[in-house]
Amino acid sequence: MTIQVLLETMWQDYLQLNPEVNNIYRGLAALNDNVIVNDHIALRTFDIDKVSIDKIAAPFLSAGYEYGGDYDFVAKKLYAKYFQHPDLRLPKVFISELKVSLLSSNAQSLIKRLVMQLDEASVNHEGFCYSGRPWDISYNEYQALLAESEYAAWMSAFGYRPNHFTVSVNHLQSHDSVESLNAYLQKSGVRLNTAGGEIKGSPSEWLEQSSTLANQVEVEFTDQKALIASCYYEFAKRYPMSSGELYQGFIAKSADKIFESTNANISNLKVK
């Protein structure tokens, strides 16, 4: 599988889970000669050897991606790395993992039981990063994880697939700022993540970001179905550093708030 096929397959999987993104994408594409550049893709996992960041990153490293930097999110008990391809037309890949040992013993046991349902062959498959949920989990178990970590609950419900894609504002003809793009989105009825402000970061930090709130999708657990928050769409504008080159990294405090895009509908969970 070529990297182009891998990225396109991930995109199609993401759209199936979050069809509302298609409306945003098509609207922007119509204003930009059908050219929308993706800044980065985000993936999630646990810090368990079988499914560690390095395992998830393997197909990207094989395709020429290189380590770009790492970040620690203390409050959310997360660690992350991002990877970048020498061909900057390809999106960066941001992979985070939950520090399972920092959760309660019950949550640790539950997550380990989930991961035990995986075999090494499936993890090593190049399409594992969009393979979905590889384990069985009940709604009660999901709720138990949700009480401790939204991230853990999201992983338990959706498994391995893109958490979000990101529009590169730098490459838009229609909007030259995150602020103007946000105004366009809100006028179109799109709900934005306001945690830490609608715009995270600043030109002085070389990066500005915003994101939609996650949509709700029906997920089938072993004992019942429920509507829960799934994926979101992000928007990023990068600014030149003193060298004149565009900043390619991330801002930890901004990413921390972006993570909360999937928190939006937790209080409105509906059981079927």
Can you give the chain as a three-state secondary structure string?
CCHHHHHHHHHHHHHHHCCHHHHHHHHHHHHCCCCCCEEEEEEEEECCHHHCHHHHHHHHHHCCCEEEEEEEECCCCEEEEEEECCCCCCCEEEEEEECHHHCCHHHHHHHHHHHHCCCHHHHHCCCHHHCECCCCCCHHHHHHHHCCCHHHHHHHHHCECCCEEEEEHHHCCCCCCHHHHHHHHHHCCCCECCCCCCCEEEHHHCEEEEEECCCEEEEECCCCEEEEECCEEEEEEECECCCCCECCCCCHHHHHHHHHHHCCCHHHCEEC
pLDDT confidence of residue 195: 85
Report the distance separating Cα 171 and Cα 156, nearest Å.
35
pLDDT at position 270: 45
Encode pLDDT of 239-248 as tens digits: 999 999 999 9
Tell me if 38 is assigned to some domain: yes
Domain count, the chain: 1
> Which residues, 6 or more positions from 198, have their beta carbon under 8 angstroms from its beta carbon?
182, 192, 210
Residue at 210 is within a domain: no
Is 86 domain-assigned? Answer: yes
pTM of the model: 0.92
pLDDT for 48-81, tens place per residue? 999 999 999 999 999 999 999 999 999 899 999 9
Q: What confidence tier does 223 reach under pLDDT thresholds 50, 70, 90?
A: very high
The answer to whether position 99 is within a domain reads yes
Give the strand pairing for 225-229 and 216-220: antiparallel
pLDDT, tens digit (0-9, with 9 covering 90-100), for 80-122: 999 999 998 999 999 999 999 999 999 999 999 999 999 888 9
Q: Which domain holds residue 51?
A: 3-191
In a domain, 15, yes or no: yes
Tell me whether residue 228 is in a domain. Answer: no
Judged against a pLDDT cut of 80, whether residue 263 lies above it is answered with no
Q: Does residue 129 fall inside a structural domain? A: yes
Q: What is the CATH number of the domain that holds 110?
A: 3.10.180.50
* Domain-located, residue 266: no
